[in-house]
Chain A
Amino acid sequence: MTSADATTLIHVIGFVTGIALYAMLGAMTLRNEHRGGVPMLSRRGDRIPLFTALLGLLWNCGALVIYGFRDFGVGTPAPLFIAVAFSALGFLPAVVVHSALQAAGPRSGARALIGTAYSLSTVATFLQIRAAVVGAAVPSRTPLLLLTTGYAVIIALIVVYSPREPAVRHALSAVALAAFSVMALHLSQHAQAADSWPMELVGHHASLPLALVILYQDYRFALADLFLKRLLTLLVLIAIWMAQYVWIAVPFVLPRIEADHTQPLGVGLLLMLGVATAMAYPALRRWVGRFVDRVVLRRADYQRLLADIATRIEDADTAEAALSTACAALGPALSAREVSWSEIDSGARTIGGRAHTSNERGHGASVTVPTADPPAYEIGIGHLTGGRRILSDDLALLDDVALVVARRLDTMRMTRERYARDLREREILQLATEAELRALRAQLNPHFLFNALTTIGHLIQEAPDRALDTLLRLTKLLRAVLKRSDGDFVTLAEELEIVRAYLAIESARFEERLNVTIDVPEEIRDCRIPPLLLQPLVENAIKHGIAPHRSGGRVVVAAQGERDGAETGRLSALSLSVIDTGMGVSQDELERRRGRGIGLSNIVRRLERYYGDAASIEVRSAPGVGTTVRIRVPVGLSGPRERRRRVGAGAGAA
C-alpha cells in the first residue's frame, strides 16, 4: 500500500465523516428547536451550533471535492471554489471563540475579542477570495498565516482575560484553537507535498474534534451526550472498516481478486466482513453508549436507577414520601447539589410538559410530575457539581422518573379516594342506622309510647273523637319512622308533619303546659333535608325544657330561607330553629350533656357527613331562660341525596 493510497483513503473517509458529523449536528439542532414546546435555541446566540454545522459542512464538502480532484488526478476545481471552502474553515475558529466567550457572560472585553476573531476571519476570507480572483495560488499562504498568528494571540488573550473561568473551559477552547492553528499552519507549509497519512489525518481533519469541542463548549447544547455517542459509534465503525481494509482486504483478499476475477471466494469474504460489521453495529452502539455514560460522563446506570426508584416508591404511602424518595435517588445519580420537589399551581402547569433545563447554561433542570389530577408537583434539579451539565439523557431520565412517580401518585390517590369513599359510605350508613335506631327509640321511646297510650286511654273515656285523633297521629308517627328508615332525604314539609304529629301527642299529654308555635314560610317547605333532623330536637326541647317545668312552657319550631344577596336571590340556605322556654342549663352543664346525649351528637355528625363545613349547628342555653338550637344547612344540594341512594342500594345488596 502506497502512502498516496492511504492518504486518499484518509481524505475520503475523513471528509465523508466530517460531512456526516456536521449534517447530523445541523439536523439535531434544527429538530430540537421545538422539543416539547420548550425552545432550547430560542436566543440568537443559540444559533451557534447551526452556524458551526453550516461552516463544517461547507468545509468538508469543499475539501472532499478539492482533495478528491487532486488525489484521483481529475484536475483542480475552480480557484473561487477552493477559496470559499478554505474561508469556511477560516470562520470556524471565530465561532469557537464566540461560543467560548459567550459562555463566560456578556462583557465588553469578550465582545471585543469576538469582534476581533470575526474580523480576522473576514480579512482572511477577503484575502483568499482576492487570491482566487487575481489568479494567485489558492489556497493562499498569507491568509492562512494571518489566521494562525491571529488566533495564537487571541488564545493568549483569552487565557489572560478569563482566569476565573473554570479551567476546563479555557483548556477546551485553547485545545480547539490550537488544533485548528496547527492544521492551518500545516496547510500553509505543506500544501504541495504529500505527507504520511497520520500527519494528513491530524492536519486536514482537525475539524472533526473541533465539532465536538464546539458542542462541549456550548453550554446550551443539551444534546452533547447523544451527539458524542453517535459520533463515537460512527468513528469506531469507520475504524473497524479501515482496519478490515488495511489488514484483511489489502494483504489477503484483493490480491486473490486481482489474480482471478472469477474466484467468488474473495468477493464472498468481503461481503461477509461487511455483513459481520453491520450485525455488530447494535452491540457497538450499546457499548459506546455505555462507555460515554460511565467513563466520559461518569453517570450512574440510568436504567437501573429508574427501576430502583420505581421499586422504592412502591413502598411510599404518601405523595411526600414518594417524591422525597425519588429526589433522594436522583441527587447522587446526577451529582446535583440539590434536588427538591414542590407542589405547583395546577392551573399554571403545561399538561405533559417535559423536562427542561432551568437556565441557559444547563446548570439546573425541572420537570413536572404529570399526575392525572391536581395537585401537580415539580421536581427541581439544582446546580450539578464537578462541572457537569444537564444533557439530553439526563432530561430523558427526568422525564421517565417523573412519569414513574406520577403513576405511583395517581395510584396512591385512587386508592386513598376509594378508601375514603368506602369509609364515608360506611359511616353514613352507620350514622343512618344509628339515627333510625335512635328515631325508633325516640318514637317508640317507652316513656313516650306508654304515656301516649295512657293519654289515649284517658281520651277514650273523656273525648272519644280526640282519642281517635291522637291514635291516628301516633299511627302516622310510627309509620313515618318506619318508612323513613331508608334514610333518604325528605322535604321540610314531611319532616314538619312528623314533628306536628309528635307535638300533637305531647300536647294531649301535657295539655295547657305545652304551647307550640310552628313558623315555617310556605316557599321553603319543599326544600330537602336529612330525615329526622328536627324531631329529635323537638323531643329534647320537651324532655329538658317542658317536662321538668311545673308550669310548662313554649316550644317554637321555626325555619327561614336565606337568599344570596338581594331579596329576590336564589335560595341558598335554610335556618332551622327549635326553641324552648324551659329550664335552660348553664354552659358547662350543656357541654356535659352534649358529650352524653346521643341525639344532638348524632345530628352534629350527620350534618358533617352530609354537608361538610357547609352546615352548622349552634346551641345556646341559659338557666331559667331556655334553650335554642339553630341548624343552618345549604339548600339545592342534590349531591348528598345521590350519595344516599347509592349507599341505600349498597346496603340492600349486602
Chain B
Amino acid sequence: MTESATLRVVVADDERPARSFLVAMLRSCGDVDVVGEAAGGAAAVTLIEEKRPDLALLDLQMPEVDGLSVVRLIKKAHLPLIAFVTAYDEYAVHAFELNAIDYLLKPVEPARLRQTLQRAHERLERADYQPTEAARLRAAAVRVDGASGEYLRRIPVRDRDDIVIVAVDHLISVIADGELLHLTIAGGAHYTINYRLKDLEARLDPAHFIRLSRGTLVNVAMLERVSPMPGGTYVVTLRNKQRLSVSRQRARVLREYLLRL
C-alpha cells in the first residue's frame, strides 16, 4: 500500500455523542487517521484549513455555520473530499443523490462508512477530482438551501482566517462581481462571499431585500433617499451614504412597491 492507504479524516458535528460515535467507528476501520474533531461549522473550517485532511465528514445541521456553509467558506485550494452526515433530511438526501455527493445517515452503519472510505480512496487516486467536486457541492448546496423553505437569518462569511456571522438585518447592500458577492454591513465592514446573487436573493426575505439592478441587492430598511434621474430612473442613497443607481427595469418595480404611500 502507498501512503494514501491511510486516509486523513476530520469529523464535524455539534453533538458530541454523534461525533464520538462516528469517531469511534472510524477508528475501528483500520486505514483511517482521525486528525481532528470540530464541534461546530466555524471550527471545522479552521480545522480543515489547518490539517488539510483527505476527507471531511460534516454534519449538515450545525448551529450558525452548517455543513454546506463549511464547504462554501473553505478556500477552494484546501477543499478536501466531503461526505455529509445527516439524521434525516429528505431535501438534502435528494440533492446529494442527484449530484452523487456522498452522504451518510445517522446512526451511521459501519458497512456504509467503509463504503464511503473506499470511495474516497478511489477518488484520491484520480487527480482531477477537485474542480468537479466543488461544482457539484455548490449546486447541491443551492438545492438544499432553497428547499429548506426558511429565509436566511445569518450569513457566515470569511474574514481572513476567522468566520464572521453576519445577521441579515445588518446587511446594507450586496453587489455582484461575477461569482463573488461584496457584502456591505452596517458599521462599515465589507465581506466577499462566493455565491450567486440569484441564489442569495432567493434565500432572503423579499419583504426586506430588493434588487436595484442586475448586480445589486439592498436592504429596504437601509434606504435613506431616492432621487429621480432623467429617463425615469433613480439613484438611491443608503444609510451609509453609499449611492447606487437603479436600472430602468427595476425603477418601475421600485415605483410600484416602495414609493407608494
Contact = CB atoms under 8 A, between A and B. Distances in A.
Interface stretch (B12-20, B114-122, B176-184, B221-229): B12-20
B106 A450 contact: yes
B61 A547 contact: yes
B129 interface: no
Contact of B17 (A446, A508, A549): A508
7 contacts: A450-B107, A453-B107, A454-B17, A454-B107, A455-B21, A456-B107, A549-B63
Contacts of B108: 454
Nearest to A593: B150
A110 B163 CA distance: 108
Nearest to A552: B63
A67 interface: no
B53 interface: no
A458 B18 contact: yes
B40 A550 contact: yes
B101 interface: no
A347 to B, nearest CB: 54
B105 A550 contact: no
A517 B187 CA distance: 39
Contact of B63 (A450, A455, A462, A547): A547
Contacts of B64: 548, 550
Interface of A: 446-447, 449-451, 453-459, 461-462, 508-511, 547-550
Given A450-B106, A462-B17, 20 more contacts: A447-B61, A450-B87, A451-B18, A451-B87, A453-B107, A454-B87, A454-B107, A455-B15, A455-B17, A455-B18, A458-B21, A458-B24, A461-B20, A461-B21, A461-B24, A509-B17, A511-B17, A550-B14, A550-B40, A550-B64
B88 A446 contact: yes
Contacts of B61: 447, 547
A447 B88 contact: yes
Interface string B8-31: 000000111110110010000000
A550 B63 contact: yes
B16 A454 contact: no
B63 A511 contact: no
A422 to B, nearest CB: 36
Contacts, number: 61
Contacts of A455: 15, 17-18, 21
A509 B18 contact: yes
10 pairs of A and B residues whose beta carbons are closest in the complex: A446-B88, A458-B21, A458-B17, A450-B87, A454-B107, A454-B106, A457-B107, A455-B17, A548-B63, A550-B63
Nearest to A588: B207
B124 to A, nearest CB: 27
Contacts of A446: 87-88
Q: Is the interface of A mostly helix, strand, loop or mixed?
A: helix
A584 to B, nearest CB: 11
Contact of A509 (B15, B40, B105): B15
A510 B15 contact: yes
Interface string B245-261: 00000000000000000
A549 B154 CA distance: 12
B16 A511 contact: yes
Interface string B193-234: 000000000000000000000000000000000000000000
Interface in B69-115: 87-89, 105-108
Interface centre among A456, A461, A511 (most CB of B within 10 A): A461
A457 to B, nearest CB: 4
A455 B106 CA distance: 10
Contacts of A548: 63-64
Contacts of B21: 454-455, 457-458, 461
Nearest to B108: A454
Nearest to B40: A550
Contacts of B105: 450
Nearest to B39: A550
A510 B19 CA distance: 11
Contacts of B20: 458, 461-462
A462 B25 CA distance: 12
Nearest to B21: A458
A447 B87 CA distance: 5
Contacts of A456: 107
A445 to B, nearest CB: 8
A278 to B, nearest CB: 92
A549 B17 CA distance: 17
A497 B40 CA distance: 32
Contact of B18 (A454, A462, A547, A550): A454
Contact of B106 (A453, A461, A549): A453
Contacts of A510: 15
Nearest to B14: A550
A514 B24 CA distance: 24
A458 B108 CA distance: 11
Contacts of B14: 550
A508 B17 CA distance: 8
Nearest to A546: B63
Contacts of A511: 15-17
Nearest to B90: A446
Nearest to A508: B17
A110 B39 CA distance: 109
A453 B16 CA distance: 14
A451 B106 contact: yes
Nearest to B66: A548
Q: Which of B24, B40, B63 has the most CB of A within 10 A?
A: B63
A453 B18 CA distance: 9
A549 B61 CA distance: 11
Nearest to A466: B17
A529 B108 CA distance: 39
Nearest to A596: B149
B90 to A, nearest CB: 9
A458 B22 CA distance: 8
Contacts of B63: 547-550
> Most B CB atoms within 10 A — which of A447, A509, A511, A550?
A550
A550 B61 CA distance: 11
Nearest to A585: B153
Contacts of B40: 550
A454 B87 CA distance: 8
Q: Counting chain A CB atoms within 10 Å of each CB, which of B18, B105, B108 scores highest?
A: B18
